[in-house]
Structure 1
Amino acid sequence: MSGIELVDIPPGRVTLSDRRTQRSWPVEVGPYQLAAVPVTRSQYAQISGCRPDGIREDRLPADSVSWYEAIRFCNALSERSGMTPAYRIGGDDQVDRIAAADGYRLPTEAEWEYACRAGTTGPRYGTLDDIAWYRGNFDDRLPEVGTKQPNAWGLHDMLGTVWEWCWDLYDPDVYGSYRVLRGGGWFDEHWSCRASVRRRSHPTVRLDDIGFRIARSAL
């Protein structure tokens, strides 16, 4: 319906790390599906009825979308597709994930990094200029999705283009409701466009270098 291509991701294991706390932790990842590219403005407008920034370039990523708006998009797409929404949203903006739901959702942080790496162990899954739009090669305008080389699993723009919201809280003891962002964006230097880099932001924030891609559990 929305034209979103999902890629089957096999189960596996990934080790996450945080430079701020010097901590690392392993995570087992089950099978799931992940979109081949970030959600585009055309797809976002079709499902939400809102077009980010009012610009009509349909292959641009849906940027300036908050975490809450990404969550609502996932639920709306699930309902439009006849699936059970993955999130329960309370009146106070409390969001709970429904584990048994078959609908669309944001990837967890572990799922995101595991998929980004696609079996590689270095900071990136390829040469940066070949796989990502970032400050070193963008031409002063938001790049279209899917125009750089994908990783070994067929996923484009996992690094560069736009930062991507993940489901996880960043560090609730220190940062409260701030959520995890991954991947680096079009305005970032090369050191931010690495598989392990973590960023955080408040779930209401909208910035022109933040977007998202969707996932779906293998049930």
Structure 2
Amino acid sequence: MDTVTDIQLITVPAGRVTLSDRRTQRSWTIALAPYRIAASVVTQDLYAQVTGERPAAAQGGRLPVEGVSWLDAVRFCDALSVRAGLTPAYRVRPGAEGVESAGDVTWDSGADGYRLPTEAEWEHACRAGTTGARYGELDEIAWYRGNSRERMHEVGGRKPNGWGLYDTLGNVWEWCWDVYDAEVYGSYRVLRGGGWFDEHWSCRASVRRRSHPTFRIDDTGFRVARSVL
């Protein structure tokens, strides 16, 4: 547990993960060094403590923060890093509200501050050493359309995966650092995990979604990570 931010960080071992994209029928393998990732997505209480804002449509301190853009998440990470006495991981170009290109935000990979996981880190952590579509029975591990009663739920209410991560599938989609496909979609960023209103087929470890980095909607949040330096 980070005693300054009260975030439970899970140390994830090094490994390899194979990502795939159904649209292009392409797959690629990435080797990962160890890193740390939050056991739960950022809650509304934590987001409010750091930013003074509660943007979520459904209010509740232990509910995931939602209605936040990728750029909101980046700025939160930097603010959280400053609060914890760490070096911010990101540099946002002044006047970059639109974030029209990937060059508007740069990542200092040598910084020890909080950041968004890459999608490879996210999937590696989600799978927790498993190889199937999910790390357990969906109704036991995730809030999705089949059991959510069409609303969001507090973090940590379903069974964690084998490494102690909660809600990587279901509840809210999670922003990742990566650009989805710059040649086709420009600055659109990757979303992972599925949400409370999604059907079961969207709540799988390999599913990729994309959206513009300024997009905000009520089924999208994020969790934070840190590099092991």
State the one-letter code of the partner of 1:8: T
Is the CA contact 1:42–1:56 (under 8 Å) kept in the aligned structure 2? no
Does 2:138 align with 1:125? Answer: no
Measured after TM superposition, the shift of residue 141 of structure 1 is: 2.4
Measured after TM superposition, the shift of residue 142 of structure 1 is: 1.4
Partner of 1:169: 179
SS in 1 for 2:171: coil
Measured after TM superposition, the shift of residue 3 of structure 1 is: 1.5
RMSD: 1.0
Q: Aligned to 1:7, which of 5, 10, 17?
A: 10
Distance in 2 (CA, whole Å) between partners of 1:192 and 1:161 is 12
Distance in 2 (CA, whole Å) between partners of 1:71 and 1:143 is 24
Q: Which range is displaced more, 44-53 or 128-137?
A: 44-53
Distance in 2 (CA, whole Å) between partners of 1:101 and 1:145 is 28
Partner of 1:138: 148
Partner of 2:158: 148
Partner of 1:22: 25
Q: Could you list the structure 1 runs, at least 4 aligned residues long, displaced by more than 2 angstroms after superposition.
A: 53-56
SS in 2 for 1:158: coil
- The runs of 5 or more residues in structure 2 that have no matched partner are 97-103
Cα deviation per residue 1:101-124 (whole Å; 9 max; x = unaligned)? 000000001000000000000000
Partner of 2:60: 57
Q: With structure 2 as the length reference, what TM-score do the two structures score?
A: 0.94
Q: With structure 1 as the length reference, what TM-score do the two structures score?
A: 0.98
- The runs of 5 or more residues in structure 1 that have no matched partner are none
Distance in 1 (CA, whole Å) between partners of 2:7 and 2:164 is 14
Is the CA contact 1:160–1:193 (under 8 Å) kept in the aligned structure 2? yes
Equivalenced residues, count:
219
Q: Which range is displaced more, 44-53 or 14-23?
A: 44-53
Partner of 2:78: 75
Measured after TM superposition, the shift of residue 2 of structure 1 is: 2.6
Distance 1:54 1:194, change over 3 A: closer
Is the CA contact 2:35–2:226 (under 8 Å) kept in the aligned structure 1? yes
Distance in 2 (CA, whole Å) between partners of 1:56 and 1:2 is 21
SS in 2 for 1:53: coil
Partner of 2:94: 91
Cα deviation per residue 1:123-175 (whole Å; 9 max; x = unaligned)? 00000000000000012321111000000000000000000000000000000
State the one-letter code of the partner of 2:222: F
Distance in 1 (CA, whole Å) between partners of 2:112 and 2:150 is 39
Cα deviation per residue 1:47-81 (whole Å; 9 max; x = unaligned)? 01101237541110001110000000000000011
